[in-house]
């Protein structure tokens, strides 16, 4: 599957929580559109629809944006179809080059299909079972934590009856225990798989990154070694800078693209803050950015990007964080 793909028929998929739009472009260039439910039944209907069109040499593409598309990608892969998960930023750049500004689900699906034909991105390989299990555990921990925070906010509202307050307190206690158990399962799972344990220890050597963030990085990026550069990983996380635009004008200031995996951006925010406050290496590096006129938020964004670059570096080299080689990594 790692050999170059030369497909004559492309399937672009624009996926959302409840449904996904597809665009099938045959060698004739004609585009056919369809909408399916984002369910197992919808996946089966998609394959039946493709079979009804008697397609061959099909290459399916969807954007790598996180949860919504992973089940469909795995289903298509198991159905012996070539499928690629592509960086949303690359699709956006392709659209801009073609001067496409219209944005609807139908248009996006066709854009992804045409990107697929033009760029022939490499085939996606599903994560190994131990990686998928880690991802499931990490996302379960995230869900439990969000529920606990929501319940704690309700508890502090001050307009509760005694019965409701007691119910909330019981639920919070339950969630706290579930969080502890899930964290223990994650630690044990990583410990049971030498490759995960080695990479977790390498990530843990980076200032600001602890075992929770290391587990999330391993779960969401899945395989750092598959990327050819740290910038590719940063782009996947939506942490590459872009110029602020208003109409046809450019302000000259930059911000994060935020086109990519939102879980990674969310997970790296507080580790970046911690690194900037507690690490001599990050303090000195950030001082250099500030002397160049970078704002507080720009420095934090750059620190998040720096963490991704360092994560790529330690995994790629197999060596723990070292301030001497880390200085050579240019991130601004």
For the chain, the structural domain boundaries read 9-119, 129-192, 220-326
> Which pTM was predicted?
0.79
Q: What is the pLDDT of residue 170?
A: 98
CA distance 97 to 325: 37
Question: Under a CB-based contact definition with an 8 Å cutoff, are residues 10 and 61 in contact?
Answer: yes
**Mind listing the pLDDT tens digit for each residue in 215-249?**
999 998 876 667 788 888 888 888 887 655 433 44
Tokens 């954007």: give the residue.
Answer: 63
User: CB–CB of 81/56 below 8 Å?
Assistant: no
Give first-to-last CA distance, the chain, whole Å: 36
Find tokens 């990490």 and name the residue.
138
Domain 9-119 belongs to what topology? Nucleotidyltransferase; domain 5 (3.30.420)
For residue 56, the tally of other CB atoms under 10 A from its CB is: 9
Report the pLDDT value the prediction gives residue 97, as an integer from 0 to 100.
Answer: 75
And the tokens for 202? 């390498």
CA distances from 151 to 137, 176, 263 (A): 21, 11, 21
**Angle, to 10 degrees, between the axis of helix 162-192 and the axis of helix 211-221?**
70
**How far apart, in Å, are the Cα atoms of 37 and each of 22, 29, 44, 66, 154?**
11, 26, 10, 18, 34
As a whole number of angstroms, the distance between CA 123 and CA 125 comes to 7
Q: What is the pLDDT of residues 117-158, one digit of tens each?
A: 999 998 988 888 999 999 999 999 999 999 999 999 999 987
pLDDT one-digit tens code per residue, 95-121: 887 645 556 667 889 999 999 999 999
């Amino acid at each position: 599957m790692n050999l170059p793909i030369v497909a004559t028929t492309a399937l672009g998929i624009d996926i959302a929580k409840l449904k996904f739009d597809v665009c099938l472009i045959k060698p004739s260039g004609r585009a056919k559109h369809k909408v399916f439910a984002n369910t197992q039944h919808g996946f089966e209907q998609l394959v039946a629809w493709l079979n009804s069109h008697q397609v061959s040499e099909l290459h399916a593409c969807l954007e790598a944006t996180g949860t919504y598309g992973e089940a469909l990608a795995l289903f298509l892969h198991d159905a012996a179809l070539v499928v690629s998960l592509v960086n949303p930023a690359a699709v956006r750049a392709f659209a801009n080059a073609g001067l496409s500004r219209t944005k609807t689900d139908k248009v996006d699906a066709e854009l992804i299909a045409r990107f697929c034909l033009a760029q022939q991105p490499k085939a996606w390989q599903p994560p190994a079972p131990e990686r998928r299990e880690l991802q499931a555990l990490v996302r379960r921990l995230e869900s439990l934590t969000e529920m606990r925070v929501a319940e704690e906010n309700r508890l502090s509202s001050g307009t509760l009856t005694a019965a409701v307050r007691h119910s909330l307190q019981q639920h919070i206690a339950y969630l706290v225990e579930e969080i502890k158990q899930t964290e223990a399962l994650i630690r044990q799972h990583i410990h049971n798989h030498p490759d995960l344990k080695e990479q977790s220890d390498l990530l843990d050597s980076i200032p600001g990154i602890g075992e929770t963030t290391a587990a999330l990085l391993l779960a969401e990026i899945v395989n750092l070694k598959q990327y050819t550069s740290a910038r590719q990983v940063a782009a996947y996380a939506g942490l590459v800078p872009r110029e602020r635009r208003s109409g046809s004008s450019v302000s000259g200031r930059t911000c994060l693209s935020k086109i990519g995996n939102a879980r990674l951006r969310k997970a790296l925010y507080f580790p970046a803050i911690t690194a900037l406050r507690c690490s001599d290496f990050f303090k000195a590096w950030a001082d250099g950015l500030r002397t160049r006129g970078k704002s507080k938020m720009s420095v934090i964004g750059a620190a998040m990007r720096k963490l991704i670059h360092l994560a790529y570096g330690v995994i790629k080299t197999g060596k723990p964080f070292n301030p001497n080689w880390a200085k050579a990594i240019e991130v601004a």
